[in-house]
Chain A
């Protein structure tokens, strides 16, 4: 862990890094909070909204079963949305910072 070659405080203070930090924090917290709320709706709904969960909507398939299946779909969608965003934006922003560091601009 040789930290002698890099001025970490300068990189941290750099506007490019600060922009990456802000974007990431906002995006990650948003997804995290949404996914936790959505997940806990399942046990809460199953316990306290029995009538809604037991309503048949597709043959014998009830709302509760579809909601449980939707948990899987939502988890996959969150994973997909995050990886799209990270691959397209976060990685590029991080690479730009790395390039600046390597070329001595930071």
Chain B
């Protein structure tokens, strides 16, 4: 095995080298790329060494899936944090805060609160009852073959959604950061992750996650120290300087549009710390909040982490540590995000990546001394490498979770009827990992350029609507049985996915074509409006579904003056291009240095406007060409039917309801007989799977 591992390391190293050759542009300037690859190399070498070491003690099924149940509580806490703090939360939330202020921070809260559910109702019972998978927990008192099949399908569905988002997000991220081609990034991430999982199993995955979490937390603490120290670690003094920053005020003015006209710069700055710049629909937020708070406890790769510790007490300790690390990290992102807004500027952040993902890396570069400095670029390289390690670690955890569902639940449990030899089981686990890994790489490449951001929310919604009701009720409700579990999991999954398919997350050609035409042809003038009274919505259901006769609530509006027509892109470009020669010609005749500098700044601004307009025009034209002749989304709808972005508010209660109804209307002898054993065991740990002795 070590021979194979060596060969693999060589090919990964070769890929790193060819990656350098393929590198185009990215946030890291070409002359500093060697630094990034050096830091990447060091991190890859460390994780490979971990894998090499872990591979020597990964022989049995328990070692492969659960690291021999020998991970300590504190270690598991760090690993959970490493598993959970994906690139979306590490770069995404800092980015949201840097662009939208308060709302970005508010968004992060749900991700921590989710662990209260994990701590109070899931972690310890799962450790006491479970073996390797969610299917094991459900099969304990229900029909093993049926529940394992449904549990495995649900696990693979959730993991695939999350995995696709990670692969696509990761590929885009690596391209934006260092300019490596998307496909090469995806294949690189896939092969590295497969090396960890196939050779080192859960032990290697755990230690890769721990390493990554430590790197991430260290990097964040250093950055926050540098941002906050100049203000003597005073929160009001620091935020005072954030809201007084002209870049921040400009960003708020941009977000508010017309409303900003009557506000002072002080009010604009303060508005950055107030809610409502990003999250506009409170019902959608509650729906997402519900999916997060209940979905995390149903995520297969999080559940699986509790099978790696020796006792329920260690499971408890691990959640406490995870909550400390994850919560602490999100508090740090408040400073990373606002710091990036103040020091780098929202304009620059969103010019490199519209979602703000580059806020953290750019802040690191600024704090180290800026674009031209060695230290600045070293810090950018370090943060980029941590982002890379993050993607690999999260993907490894997900692949292990789906592979265990495939091999342990479907192959060993259902096909072989639990009669597979130990050796056969380990081989099945490794083969399944390779299959899932190849699927992940393929899906990652196929989904290039697709909008996958909503897949993360969908993964949580499915986990909350299907997995959590099943696991929760099986553990805590005596009457729960096989029929209920199967009904709840199928209805929960189908409802969550179905609602998203008809939600605003999908692409609606009519809307895309209309906005592209607006860019190209301009907008007509809007006549002056008289004062409008507030309108009340016709019923609550109208907030959720687009139905005939629905009137949506509207606040009262003051009278507004006539708005002039907006020119189309071609007209705008012609105007700007006509202005440029005159400005440039006048430059030569200006003698006064101050006036000359101002004229040069004007020219730069016009050139920037031209570039931006051309980019918008090209995008609008591409959109028109892409959607020409189409009027409906892939579901045949012209506009969304379900109005929330997250289906949780409907699919989660429905999932619970179906488990309850299915259980009440049928009888299952085994589910009843096994209740006493399950309940005693989950509370006392009697007969729980023990740690393997080395």
Contact = CB atoms under 8 A, between A and B. Distances in A.
Given A6-B687, A60-B270, A12 B112 contact: no
A101 B319 CA distance: 29
A98 B688 CA distance: 12
Interface residues of B, number: 51
B316 A60 contact: no
A89 interface: no
Interface stretch (B181-189, B435-443, B614-622, B677-685): B677-685
B106 A46 contact: yes
A8 B676 contact: yes
Contacts of A28: 120-121
Nearest to A69: B331
B112 to A, nearest CB: 5
Given A43-B285, A79-B119, A59 B110 contact: no
A40 interface: yes
Chain A, interface SS category:
helix
Given A50-B275, A59-B237, A59-B240, A97 B677 contact: no
A44 B290 CA distance: 13
A65 B324 contact: no
Contacts of A76: 323-324, 327
Contacts of B289: 39-40, 43
A46 B276 contact: yes
B331 A54 contact: no
Interface of B is mostly: helix
B105 interface: yes
Contacts of B424: none
Most chain B beta-carbon neighbours within 10 Å: one of A54, A64, A75: A75
Contacts of B593: none
Contact of B106 (A32, A43, A61): A43
Interface string A56-68: 1011111011001
Contacts of B686: 6, 11, 98, 101
A47 B119 CA distance: 29
B313 interface: yes
Nearest to B685: A94
Contact of A65 (B102, B319, B685): B102
Nearest to A36: B293
Interface string B650-694: 000000000000000000000000001101110111110000000
Contacts of B105: 65, 68
B286 A60 contact: no
Contacts of A26: none
Nearest to B681: A8
Contacts of B158: none
A3 B680 CA distance: 12
A42 B109 contact: yes
Interface string A78-98: 111011001100010010011
A69 to B, nearest CB: 7
A72 B684 contact: no
Nearest to B241: A60
Contacts of B273: 60-62, 64-65
Contacts of A71: 109, 112-113
A60 B282 contact: no
B239 A60 contact: yes
Contacts of B3: none
Interface string B178-210: 000000000000000000000000000000000
B633 interface: no
Contacts of B239: 59-61, 65
Given A46-B275, A68-B102, 4 more contacts: A2-B687, A61-B273, A71-B112, A72-B112
20 contacts: A1-B687, A6-B677, A8-B676, A11-B680, A11-B684, A17-B680, A21-B679, A46-B276, A48-B282, A58-B235, A58-B236, A59-B236, A60-B273, A65-B239, A68-B102, A71-B112, A87-B313, A98-B685, A98-B686, A101-B686
Q: Sort A-B residue pairs by CB-CB distance and give the 3 closest, nearest first.
A: A59-B236, A47-B282, A46-B275
